[in-house]
Chains A and B, each alone.
Chain A
Amino acid sequence: MLSLLLLIPFLGAFVLLLSPSNPPPGRMRAIAITTLALQLLWSLRVLLAFDPHQGGMQLQDSLSWVPMIGLDYRLGIDGLSLPLVLMNGALTLVSAVCTRDISQRPRIYFALLLLISGAVNGAFLAENLLLFFLFYELELIPLWLLISIWGGTERAYAATKFLIFTAISGVLILGAFLGLALFTGTVDFSLTPILSERLSMGSQLVLLVSLLIGFGIKIPLVPFHTWLPDAHTQASSPVSVLLAGVLLKLGTYGLLRFCLGLFPQAWALVAPWLAIWAAVSVLYGSLAAIAQRDMKRMVAYSSVGHMGMILLAAAAATPVSLLGAVFQMVSHGLISALLFLLVGIVYRKTGTRDLEVLRGLLNPERGLPFTGTLMILGVMASAGLPGMAGFISEFLVFRGSIGVFPLATLLCMVGSGLTAVYFLLLVNRAYFGRMAITPASEDPSADARLDIRLSGVALRETLPALGISLAVVGLGLVPAGLGWLSETTATAMAELPALLLAASHGGLG
């Protein structure tokens, strides 16, 4: 059942790449959208088949692939990966829908989108460490191409930086996985925490730190974050949506699944330091966002801040905080995708994202009023206002963590408060006041007389953002659905250290 989640996008990519004639870009987009819609429908089918009361992996598909090196094709899904698979399906579809007027190599573009979506599904579903690594690396090259071919003027720099950082991340993760095999003396790469039990705490720490840095680059956490603002700034809007909404989640998913999941005892040991790291990341991301004048960079830095909260939740590792981490992954995915989409619309219409230049875009007749309205909704959600997804996730994270790491949680709350600061700066600068899209001149009265003729935003351009906005509000008003899906898994993960301790003392025997 789960294999279809890989097969559908990969087949779509092959159909696009191998189609003999040269179909027009519109038809290629239609093929990609149809494929992604099928993938999303199948993800929903998986959702129907999923039993939320089971804590472990379900609906497993397995096939022995290269047993000699321990590479098995084993897929499974639980309450942690299911929301991410659903989000991957939805946001890749949004990315394809948002891609319009693509003149340069549309065939490869859409094939790469499908390839990424399939690879991400593979990474979320893999039950074998090497299989995860394969999919983790598989999304890297397509994304590099998406930035370096269809990116902005500085795309070569940004794409190369992304490639180097993520390649190092991959090397560290692979090193840790191989190290696990080496230290335990087996070639069993299946996903089981009992493996690490055979290791000394020193070895566990070495492997855990390697994984932490590897996933820390991908999330990204300060100080490994510098590739992200560059990559976002240069990537086109649909690619930014994918990057922020889905690909960064590979990092946090890895953190929960492999760092916490494989080394629960070592994790408990380093958790206080991780909480401090999370607080630093949240505060740094938020403070850096305040200093930005490029709207997209501001949203990118806000990502750094909000992803740090997932580390805090993972460090606390209580059932509530881990549930909060899942919520935060979903809500950050939706909210940042929404914000990147809207910034993309602003950029497409005005030719600039500079907050020193843009003014008054909420102008009802000549500005971008509906885009502005959704932007205000997005920043409110990001700042954690009740009634929207951001509130539920941050509340759960803070509620679950404050008992374990009060200081780090309080600092993260300050970071959450700073979200309101920088996003209100953004909204106030770009959307209020007298409309302007060019730098202020020496003569303010001349600026106040400029007539501005932006083209309007058609409804079809806003529909994807509207859909995500509804999801953000829906998740905020009815969070029980996601909680129902993930609660059992989050509780099971939180109980891992105790379980292992009991196992090592023969308590389970």
Chain B
Amino acid sequence: MPVIPALLTHAGGRPSVEALEASLLAGQTLLADTPEHVLEVVDVLNSYGVVLDAYSKNLIFQAERQFLNPFPVFRFLDGDLSPAKIWRHLNGDRINFEYAEYCMKAMLWHGTGGLDAYLDSEPFAANCKAIIRHKTGRDPLLALLHPLFPNFLPEAIRAAATTHALGQFWRVMSDLFLDLARAEADGTVRNIAEVVAFIKAGLVNAAANPITYGVHLGGERFWVLPPEAGLTFLVDVAVPYVEAVFLRGMPFLGTVSFNAQAQQISPDQAQFAYGALYADPLPTMGAGIPPSLLMQDMYRHLPERLHALYRQRSRGEGDVRVKICMSFQKSMFCVTNAAIDGTFPHALGTAVPAEQAANRAYARAWAERLAVARTDCLDPFGS
């Protein structure tokens, strides 16, 4: 039997902007509702929840215990410096915390939302000044560095603040995804619409959670993100996170490389479309593609039910990370779906024409961005 190349390729669906807008306005889910999709999304979010738990703990550890450490060699060890832990770390038998750092840097660099605005504010600069004054008094290396590079320490504090904020965000998301897995196991969540509703409810519940961050230096406590800054979970951290990590991302060199001089990368950061929703699952595990680290981490904690499903498909264990990436994109569309649902300017059932128009414009803006994302994974059979 000759091999016909076209039979070995699969082109998923590509919904138009109008179709996506209509789905969002009608309150329908973007991801097709099939039992297999429910299994994939719930189980992959379950493993993601476990990984996020580790990421979150580590980010908070880094921000609090490795604060302004110029040589944070042991920052991934969570304070456990036992030889066994170091050996496992050097062997690669560990969670890839580098991915969490990559997400933090994406947030810091894209810099959208309330957190970034606060990091540019006068009160934050005053906090930094106080911290640096205190720290340089005790640390001769930093005392030498600061006058030479006056932007270095404030920038390090901004990074630490973003690290801590992301750690707090992922703490909530980790618990939410693990709760989702329990809800599906006990039959409370049975279809994709209920998955989206569950995530949306979780986001809405946590929406007003305050985001604060303080550090202890020599027995004295300093605020980096004080309560009076009024930073909250949804608007100031979750939305910038979605913007930076789901949508914009960074054009890393992978199997496809970009030539910035030939304008293959937009000079306008806001136009970036390299985030998780746009990532090509095929080059996972290629050199230089950070999301592949996440796939590897999720693979370590994959529920057996999903693992068994993967083993039956295509190359079984051989291309398991590609399949995890595809399921992960499905689940991220559900999370995005929940975030959009939860942030419509007005209730979807409103009869006021002006409110309807505002909702339409909001849905349209999202649909235009999502139409060029990897929507091929949304099909019922787009596994």
Mark A residues whose CB is within 8 Å of B: 348-352, 357, 360, 362-366, 432-435, 437-438, 445-446, 448-456
Contacts and interface: CB of A to CB of B under 8 A. Distances in A.
Interface stretch (B10-18, B76-84, B119-127): B10-18
A364 B282 CA distance: 9
B255 A435 contact: yes
A446 B12 CA distance: 9
Contacts of B256: 433-434, 448
Given A363-B255, A438-B9, A451 B315 contact: no
Contacts of B255: 360, 362-363, 432-435
Contacts of A456: 315, 318-319
Chain B interface SS verdict (over half): loop
B372 A445 contact: yes
Interface string B313-339: 011001111100010000000000000
A366 B320 CA distance: 10
A366 B255 CA distance: 13
B3 A449 contact: no
B286 interface: yes
A368 B382 CA distance: 23
A453 B8 contact: yes
Contacts of B10: 450-453
B4 A351 contact: yes
A363, A435, A451 pick with most chain B CB within 10 angstroms:
A451
Given A432-B255, A456-B318, 17 more contacts: A362-B255, A364-B286, A365-B284, A365-B315, A365-B318, A365-B319, A366-B319, A433-B255, A433-B256, A438-B9, A446-B11, A450-B9, A451-B382, A452-B8, A452-B9, A452-B10, A455-B315
Chain A interface SS verdict (over half): loop
A445 B374 CA distance: 10
Contacts of A435: 255, 282-283
Contacts of B280: 434, 448-449
A364 B5 CA distance: 19
Interface residues of B, number: 32
A352 B318 contact: no
B191 to A, nearest CB: 25
Interface of B: 2-6, 8-12, 14, 255-256, 280-286, 314-315, 318-322, 326, 372, 374, 376, 382
Contacts of A352: 5
A455 B3 CA distance: 11
B8 A350 contact: yes
Contacts, number: 89
A471 to B, nearest CB: 28
B11 A366 contact: no
Given A350-B3, A432-B255, A433-B256, A363 B286 contact: yes
A351 B9 contact: no
A348 B10 CA distance: 19
Given A432-B255, A448-B280, A449-B14, A437 B8 contact: yes
B5 A366 contact: no
A432 B256 CA distance: 8
A385 B115 CA distance: 55
Given A432-B255, A445-B372, A449-B12, A438 B282 contact: no
B3 A349 contact: yes
28 contacts: A349-B3, A350-B3, A357-B5, A360-B255, A363-B255, A363-B286, A364-B286, A365-B319, A432-B255, A433-B256, A434-B256, A435-B282, A435-B283, A437-B8, A437-B9, A438-B6, A449-B376, A450-B11, A451-B9, A451-B12, A451-B282, A451-B376, A451-B382, A452-B8, A452-B10, A453-B10, A454-B8, A455-B315
A366 B4 contact: no
Contacts of B5: 350-352, 357, 437-438
Nearest to B320: A365
A320 B11 CA distance: 58
Contacts of B14: 446, 449
Contacts of A362: 255
Contacts of B9: 437-438, 450-453
B62 to A, nearest CB: 30
A363 B3 contact: no
A446 B2 CA distance: 26
B322 A366 contact: yes
Nearest to A441: B11
